[in-house]
Structure 1
Amino acid sequence: MTHGIRFSQHGGSEVLEYVEVPTPTPSANEVLVRNQAIGMNFIDIYGREGLYPVSSFPSGLGTEAAGIIEAVGEDVQAFSPGDRVAYAQGPLGAYSQLHCLPAEFLIPLPESISFDVAAASLLKGMTVQYLLRQVHEVKAGDTILFHAAAGGVGTLACQWANALGARLIGTVSTDEKAELARSLGADAIINYTTEDVVERVKALTDNELCDVVYDSVGKDTWPVSLDCVKRRGLIVSFGNASGPVEGVNLGILNQKGSLFVTRPSLGGYADTPSRRKAMAAELFDMIERGAIDVQINQRFALSEAGKAQDALMQRRTTGATLLIP
């Protein structure tokens, strides 16, 4: 037997239970990983709440962790017991001591990358990779607005954009978060609780506005994002922290200046083993070169997953949050 988080209905953090479960057995193309560190992400909360429905109850939760392979299925040839690996996609169930998943989702973990760093950065880092390198190839001189710049994705984006020579304007909710984002390479920071984001963007850009707006907040920031992007600019809506953007009137894209908008996801870009490995390799290279310092600012025991998710939802966290089995 082993332990993991399970939930039997959608709802608040109180539906999460730390329970004893049978030890999984890998099928032909699967591996069994003993997690050493587990990444926590907003998408986990979407699953718990029902925004992204689960297939059946009781259900596991989470898709990101790093650990050591304990067993492999009979058809698995690329991995062996004892290998260090990380993963950020695949079936729910990463909130556990042991997780069984298809081998195709595994990323070999270099010795230079610790389990904690991998679990804190793989999903978020591959997200930043597709945002800055694929959805829009950020270039030196670009001006971008990044909402939630002090969060897990935002702290990586500040550093990656800085390494690319772009000017990143970030939004945050506290002065402490502003200081963190600025220390990681953000060119300018807007505290949206005390400042008018649109007016500050206009002032910071001499009314030129931004080439791209990256918005993981959703409903609350959608109107702001529309007013911060320049004519023929791009809005990348890639999250729903405040709720999904609904009822979008395409005509407003014309009215605001022939704007472009996209709603990407990691699964839409890291959709094959080769793409996953290439994206992870670029991330790991950035970490190994020192261009990215992964900010792990909260650690909770796996049994405290509900408490950890509440802290994330209440915006009491910065950088990455780990669950430790």
Structure 2
Amino acid sequence: MPVAIAITNPGTPETMKLVELPITEPGPGQARIRQSISGVNFVDIYVRTGLYPLPPGQTVLGFEGAGVVEAIGSGVENVKIGDRVAYVGHPLGSYAEMRTLSASRLVRLPDDVSERLAGSTMLRGLTAHMLLHKVHPLRSGEWVLVHAAAGGLGQIVTRWAKRLGANVIGTVGSGAKAEFAYEAGADAVLLHNSEDWVDETRRIADGRGVHLAIDGIGGAMLSQTLATVRPFGTAASIGQAAGPIPPIQLEELTAPRAIGLARPSVLTYANDPDLYRQGTKALVAELRAGLINPIGAEYALKDAARAHADLEAGRTTASVVLTM
């Protein structure tokens, strides 16, 4: 029987267990895929720890993956048996050798995009598309601040922003990680634990601040991040790896700052059929055109708990994946 990684209650990585799952036949509009890879993302940690509630009846973690279609139900026209596909979004279940899900969620892969690349890129890539095309449609010459620029999301946002002609200031937690941010294309890299990183960001960005600031660190960092944004720019809060975010007062956004604050969700973005189609089409086109998304750490499916522990502790760079 195929195996998967499941939890029954929120908790530490040790709550994740390898379980056997029955093979399910696809119903109308569904497809069953045999997976080769699953991405590991901070949102998975949020689900495991209980920050995001586990949906009723679901126990297997993971929002993105890739593999080959093994069977299809009635009415399925967008994929056929043997197609290589990738996906991102609800329902949970990508930490599995095999799964059945709605065929409408599946994106067919062209010959020149591997399952390994697509399956490790869908969530972060769709997040980048959401940030750079929906939250703040980025224009050439604008300035972007990317926190955790050595991480999986930070690198792909940096690379995509540079392809759009933007200037990128990345922040990292240690000097050792700076080279990864520079390799991704950042124009400047700062330590976000230094005392002057806010002032230095504003100085580099024309002395006025950035047009878009992307903060996945959370905790007390968001309030500092707001100070890096120029008037009528936007700050996007996309996570809280450092812990809960203290309340933001409206006065922190108003004059003389006059900035916008967004709390976008890539899973909500993926649940909109039109946005999902537009975003995944654009992402696949960028991958075919050379957008790079390096894999920094790879684990066997059975070692998913160790992958979570390493990602949570900041011991990884770039994308983190599970292989089947």
SS in 1 for 2:247: coil
Give the letter aligned to residue 68 of structure 1: V
Aligned-partner Cα distance in 2 for 1:159–1:85: 24
SS in 2 for 1:212: strand
C-alpha distance after superposition, 1:88-122 (max 9, x if no partner): 11211110001111111111111111111001111
Aligned-partner Cα distance in 1 for 2:202–2:98: 50
Aligned-partner Cα distance in 2 for 1:179–1:195: 21
Other-structure match for 1:237: 237
Number of aligned residue pairs: 324
Instruction: Tell which deviates more after alignment, 311-320 or 70-79.
Output: 70-79
SS in 2 for 1:79: coil
1:292-303 alignment to 2 at 5 Å? 292-303=291-302
Give the letter aligned to residue 239 of structure 2: G
Instruction: Tell which deviates more after alignment, 73-82 or 159-168.
Output: 73-82
Aligned-partner Cα distance in 2 for 1:267–1:40: 15
Aligned-partner Cα distance in 2 for 1:205–1:28: 53
Aligned-partner Cα distance in 2 for 1:108–1:275: 17
* Contact 2:149-2:171 within 8 A present in 1 as well: yes
Give the letter aligned to residue 131 of structure 1: L
Cα 1:140–1:50 shift into 2, 3 Å: same
* Contact 1:35-1:96 within 8 A present in 2 as well: yes
1:85-164 alignment to 2 at 5 Å? 85-164=85-164
1:171-320 alignment to 2 at 5 Å? 171-194=171-194, 196-205=196-205, 207-254=207-254, 257-290=257-290, 292-320=291-319
1:44 Cα deviation after fit: 0.5
* Contact 2:126-2:279 within 8 A present in 1 as well: yes
* Contact 1:147-1:217 within 8 A present in 2 as well: yes
Aligned-partner Cα distance in 2 for 1:275–1:207: 35
**Over aligned residue pairs, what C-alpha RMSD do you find?**
1.6
Mark the runs of 5 or more structure 2 residues left unpaired by the alignment.
none
Give the letter aligned to residue 304 of structure 2: A
Cα 1:57–1:102 shift into 2, 3 Å: closer
SS in 1 for 2:89: coil
SS in 2 for 1:149: coil
Instruction: Tell which deviates more after alignment, 302-311 or 176-185.
Output: 176-185
SS in 1 for 2:253: helix
Instruction: Tell which deviates more after alignment, 121-130 or 204-213.
Output: 204-213
C-alpha distance after superposition, 1:278-306 (max 9, x if no partner): 2122122222222x211111110001101
Instruction: Tell which deviates more after alignment, 74-83 or 193-202.
Output: 193-202
Mark the runs of 5 or more structure 1 residues left unpaired by the alignment.
none
Aligned-partner Cα distance in 1 for 2:40–2:6: 15
* Contact 1:90-1:101 within 8 A present in 2 as well: no
1:231 Cα deviation after fit: 1.9
SS in 2 for 1:213: strand
Instruction: Tell which deviates more after alignment, 132-141 or 50-59.
Output: 50-59
1:196 Cα deviation after fit: 2.9
Other-structure match for 1:11: 11
TM-score of the aligned structures, taking structure 2 as reference length:
0.95
1:31 Cα deviation after fit: 1.1
Aligned-partner Cα distance in 2 for 1:324–1:180: 23
C-alpha distance after superposition, 1:188-218 (max 9, x if no partner): 0011234532122133235311111111112
SS in 2 for 1:100: strand
* Contact 1:7-1:57 within 8 A present in 2 as well: no
Other-structure match for 1:45: 45
Aligned-partner Cα distance in 1 for 2:89–2:152: 17
Aligned-partner Cα distance in 1 for 2:25–2:104: 17
1:319 Cα deviation after fit: 0.7
C-alpha distance after superposition, 1:232-275 (max 9, x if no partner): 22111112222342422112211551221111111333334443
SS in 1 for 2:249: coil
* Contact 1:34-1:98 within 8 A present in 2 as well: yes
Give the letter aligned to residue 89 of structure 2: Q
Instruction: Tell which deviates more after alignment, 77-86 or 33-42.
Output: 77-86
Give the letter aligned to residue 4 of structure 2: G
Give the letter aligned to residue 318 of structure 1: T
SS in 2 for 1:270: helix
Instruction: Tell which deviates more after alignment, 73-82 or 26-35.
Output: 73-82
